[in-house]
Each structure stands twice: as structure tokens, then as C-alpha cells.
Chain A
Amino acid sequence: MTDVLEARGIDMSFRNGDEVTEVLKGVDLTLQAGELVALLGASGSGKSTLLSIIGLLLRPTAGRITIAGQRVDTLSETERARFRNQRLGFIFQFHHLLPDFTATENVAFPAAATAGRMTGAMRQRARELLERVGLADRMDFPATRLSGGQKQRVAIARALMNNPALILADEPTGSLDRVSAEKVLDLMEEVNREDKATFLICTHDENIAARCARRIIVKDGRADRVQA
């Protein structure tokens, strides 16, 4: 299997006046294509920071990151945005759907905004993804009329829109009730299994971690690999 993500020696520190807080200290991390990996850690352990760095939303203080064979830690802001758009998918704790758009439009939005127009092919792909996540009967519903679980499934479909090399999920079930959370997890497992999509799920929930093939625990700014 090929490496989708290779992070080496990731350091991250924040400066507040004269005070410097070291959050990550020389983190090494590798993800292979088709893996479903949980990133665990207590609150404040730095796991969300690590996820943001891998998602190119934060620049590390030091370290080298390669995603899908491309060195990304040296990219400019514009190049990082383009890379996020084309090669990464995001699922956040809160769905952050655009309330003025339908489910289909929300899924196709990142692609349409980059292309400058919403093409028929984009719409078709978005509808296929919504069907895939079990929302065939909600495609033209405004985002505001969907339930919490349905919104998170739309968010998963949106993350899959551009065939990303890596999908990063930050507490994807954190805002859902137990039943909806189970459905969302089932869906992510299914997408991972059938589409060979690579997931890195940041969570503090042991139940979610238990469903992942591999666990990485962030503790004291370092990442320890644990086989499931």
C-alpha cells in the first residue's frame, strides 16, 4: 500500500508575549491509502492542532509533510488553498452547511466556487454522492430543513466531492445524538471500505476509536501509534 500522508518531525508552538507553549514536539505520522485511523487524545493534547496542520489550515513551526506524494509544507497560501480544494476533504464537528443552498448545491459548492460556475456534471456528481449517503429524497431540500444527522451526511458527501486523497474528520459525531452518530460512523466505515477512502478521524471518543483499524494517541505533544 502507498503512503497517503507522511508527516515527519512536526513541531508546533504558540507564542503569547514572552511565553512560548509547545503543543507538538517532533510528531511523526504515516497514513496509508484506504486506512481508517483514529487520532486520539485528551482535551488540549494537541490532536486538533495536528489535524489542522495536516489539513493545511495551520503552518507547523517545523516539520515536513507529504500528502499523496506532494510536499505540502512549503506551499504558498494560494497553493495550499488549491491543494485543500482538490486533494483534501473535511468533516467538522459542526456541519457548517451553507443555509441558503440546497443539499446538492452544498455538496457541489467547493468545486463550483473554484470553477466559477456550477456545471451539470458537478450537480450530477453531487446527486450521486447524496444518494450514496442515503439522502436521495433530500437532494433539493434547503440545508435548513435537514436534521442534524442528515446535515452531517451532506457534509460527508461534500468532503467526497473532489475525490480527495485524504479525508480529515474533527469530532464528526460530536454534535449528534447517539443514533445519528452511529449512522454517520457506519457511513464513514462504508465509504472507507467500498471506496478505499483514507480517513483520519480526530476524536476523544473511545467507541469511535474502537471502530478504526488503527489508533494514534497524541500525548504530551507526541504521537504514539497503537494497533487496533
Chain B
Amino acid sequence: MFALVVARRYLFSNPAQTALLITGVALGVTAFVFITALIEGLAIRLTADVTANSSHVSLEQEVRVARVLPARAADVQSVALVSTFQRRQIRAWGPTVALLRSQPLVSAISPQISGNAFLVKGEAVAPLAVTAIEPSALDAISPITTKIIGGDADLGADGILIGAQLAENLGLSAGQPVLFRTDRGVDRLLTVRGIFRTGLLNLDERVAFLSIRTARPLLRLPEGVTNIEVKLHDPGQAREFAAFLRDATGLRVTSWQERNTTLEGALFAQAQTGTLIQIFSLISVLIGIASALSLSANRRRGEIGIMGAFGVARRFIAAVFVLQGLLIGMVGAGIGCLTGFALCSWLATLTKADGTMVLPIVASEGSYLTVFALTTLGAVLASVIPARSAARLDPLEAIQQ
């Protein structure tokens, strides 16, 4: 293709200018890759932090509300009241668990009984949020075993796991007995089997784990469970899966996104900001290409004029400039992707004293194909204006100048 030969020759005719132009494009692309990898990395880290220690989908019984019943007579209205004698529970939780087990998206299931209680030691009383689980599924939702700092995670028949802050407040250590008093008015002496530290004060001070078998008589729930917690292989699919479960079970199903709308809003705002920065970096790249090619077209007016005088087609002249834009865009984007990847990979290795990353950057999330395609396409579009003006140049006027 002769137009490509001419375009390449034009670019090589002024290596310093071409190198500067490509460097400008590469820098813009590097900035794009860096911002994308950083924002994606931040979103991944925040999502992982939020979803690592909690379930992705929660199932519980719908809240019952008073409803108006169909009237038998026009002037009589009756209302079905909410029973205060029945606990909110999932009574037939077996089929629901079976349904969940059949779903390939699901990675872990934890039927639970949640309730409130107090730990009493002498005159000291501490309120508790109790989570009763199957001992075998202790780590299914949040990894507790690895966070045990005293005793072990074996719940047994009368064991309880408490957080480090609670243990400190009550002066408890592993192996000690403690009085457990539920909000149902049942007292029982339990043994502190293990003490965990998650680093989250709310958990370390207020949460305790029991086996579901131990909890049933204490929380007066002989059959059902209060909630079923589910982990998915991909937390991103939680919202859609929750909708599916809502239809399939009739239960109240909440995804982790619905429980963390503030986080979702923050991630959205962050993504929007990133998009704006990406757009501006691309625009600056494209303006650079358009202005450089316009200058080139102006500098080569005489040559373009002679081409026109010799009857060289306008589309050939336009193609020479569009191909210059294409080459600059492709080479600049290619180099920018490589330097962006190298920069992000290097930044990902930098850690603080506590071992955490300086920047939550994920090099693989740089959207390399997108930025390469956008830059190349943009470079071609940016070259259209100088290409058109070159192609429309009046040969006679250009030669006479």
C-alpha cells in the first residue's frame, strides 16, 4: 500500500517530532492504564474487604405486616393482625438449603440462629449478638478459626467463642466458665472455648459464636433457623442471585450490595471520576495528534499541492495523513500499555511496614485492549480533520505559496 509507505516516510522524516508525538500518546495511555488499574484495584479491595467477613446473600423470613382482609359487607372492614406469638423464623429450612446446594454459584451455606444475650461475670454484664452455627460451618462465611488467639475453635456441647475485646472487658480467658443469659430469659453456664480477634471492634466486643444445637433451647427455637447465610464464588452476582432466590423461596433475600448501599454509591462515584480522568487524558492525546498532523499538513503544503497538480487522488492524500494518525496511535498506545503495565506491576510490589500495599493497584485491570482500541480509533478520528484539509488543498494555491 503506497499511502502507508508515504505515511511511514513522513513520520521518519522528522524522528524527533514523531518520537515526541508518540511519547505524548504513550504518556496519556500510561496515565489511562494507571488510573483504570488503581480504580479497579480499589474497588476490588473494598469489595473484598466488605465481602470477606460477611455473607454475600442473606435469607430470612419476610417481616409480617397487618393487612386488610376482603370485606364480606360493604360497610365492614377487617384486618389480619401480626401474630406476636410466633417467632420470625425459617421453619422449613431444609428444602431451602437443598435448593442452595444445587446452585453452582454457591460456594458456602450457613444456616444460623441469631439472637441477643448477655454474658454475666459477677457484677459485670455485657450484651451479645449471638450467632449459632453448625460447628462444621464455622468458617463458611467468615474465617474465625484463623483468628483464634486463645484456646481453640472447637465449640462442643457447651462451648462459646467470644471476641478479644469482650474477653478483656470481662476478664475472661479460654477455658473459663461464664454465665450466658438470653433475651428469652434462659440462663446457662457455658465455657469460653476460644477467643478470636478480627480487628473489627464491633465483632471483637459484641459477637459470640455457639453451636446451633446448644443455642436451640437457649434461644427457644427448637426447629427452625432465623437466617441462612450464603457465600458465592463471584460476589458480583449476588444481586441477581438474590432476586432469583426471592422468587424461588418467597423469603426476604438481601444481597451484600443492598446491605452496603453507601459503599456501592462510593464505588460508582469513584468509577465516574475515573471515567472523567480517562476521557480527559484521551482527549489531550487526540488534540496532540490532531495539532501535530495539522502542522505537518501545513508544512507540506507545497508537496501536497504538487501531488494534486499531478492528479494524485484526494483520497490518497487523505489516506497518507489518516495512516500517520493510525501509526502514531497504534505505536503510542502499544508503548503506553507496556509502560502502564510495567508501572502498575512495580507499584503493586510496593508495601507498607505492615505488609499491605502502598496503592491497591491491580496491574491486570488496566483495560489494555480497551485503551489500545480507543486510542487507535481516536488517533484515526483526530487525523481526519488535517487529512481533509490536506486533501482539499487547492493545488494551484499551494504551489504558488
**A residues adjacent to B (C-beta < 8 A):** 52, 55, 57-58, 78, 80-86, 88, 90, 92, 94, 96, 98-101, 109-110, 112-118, 158
* Contact code string B1-20 (vs A, CB < 8 Å = 1, else 0): 11101100110110000000
The answer to whether B9 touches A82 (Cβ under 8 A) is: no
The answer to whether B306 touches A96 (Cβ under 8 A) is: yes
What separation, in Å, do the CA atoms of A124 and B307 have in the docked complex? 21
What separation, in Å, do the CA atoms of A117 and B2 have in the docked complex? 5
Which B295-337 residues have a C-beta within 8 angstroms of A? 302-303, 305-314, 316
Closest-CB distance, B323 to chain A (whole angstroms): 13
Tell whether B396 is near chain A: CB-to-CB under 8 Å.
yes
The answer to whether B2 touches A84 (Cβ under 8 A) is: no
The answer to whether B1 touches A110 (Cβ under 8 A) is: no
The answer to whether B308 touches A81 (Cβ under 8 A) is: yes
The answer to whether B311 touches A117 (Cβ under 8 A) is: no
Closest-CB distance, A133 to chain B (whole angstroms): 17
Tell whether B399 is near chain A: CB-to-CB under 8 Å.
yes
In the complex, the 5 A-B pairs of residues with the closest C-beta atoms, listed nearest first: A85-B311, A84-B311, A110-B310, A96-B306, A113-B312
Q: Which of B5, B302, B307, B311 interacts with A82 by CB under 8 Å?
A: B311
The answer to whether B13 touches A99 (Cβ under 8 A) is: yes
**Residues A96 and B399 in contact in the complex (CB < 8 Å), given A113-B2, A116-B1, A118-B2:** yes
Apart from A81-B313, A96-B305, A110-B311, what are 19 other A-B pairs with CB-CB below 8 Å? A52-B396, A57-B396, A58-B396, A78-B313, A81-B314, A83-B311, A84-B309, A84-B310, A85-B311, A85-B312, A88-B311, A90-B309, A92-B306, A92-B309, A92-B399, A94-B399, A96-B303, A113-B6, A113-B307
The answer to whether A100 touches B9 (Cβ under 8 A) is: yes
Interface residues on B, range: 20 to 34
What separation, in Å, do the CA atoms of A86 and B10 have in the docked complex? 26
Tell whether B395 is near chain A: CB-to-CB under 8 Å.
yes
Q: Which of A58, A86, A112, A115 interacts with B311 by CB under 8 Å?
A: A86
Q: Within 8 Å CB of B306, what residues of A? A: 90, 92, 96, 98
**Residues A81 and B2 in contact in the complex (CB < 8 Å), given A100-B9, A100-B10, A113-B316:** no
What separation, in Å, do the CA atoms of A24 and B73 have in the docked complex? 105
Closest-CB distance, A141 to chain B (whole angstroms): 15
Q: Within 8 Å CB of A158, what residues of B? A: 310
What separation, in Å, do the CA atoms of A78 and B302 have in the docked complex? 20
What separation, in Å, do the CA atoms of A100 and B314 have in the docked complex? 20
The answer to whether A114 touches B399 (Cβ under 8 A) is: no
Closest-CB distance, A49 to chain B (whole angstroms): 10
The answer to whether A101 touches B9 (Cβ under 8 A) is: yes
Q: Which of A57, A112, A116, A118 interacts with B309 by CB under 8 Å?
A: A57
Q: Within 8 Å CB of B10, what residues of A? A: 100
What separation, in Å, do the CA atoms of A99 and B311 have in the docked complex? 19
Q: Within 8 Å CB of A99, what residues of B? A: 13, 303
Q: List 9 A-B contacts (CB under 8 A).
A: A78-B313, A80-B311, A85-B311, A96-B302, A99-B303, A101-B9, A110-B311, A113-B6, A117-B1
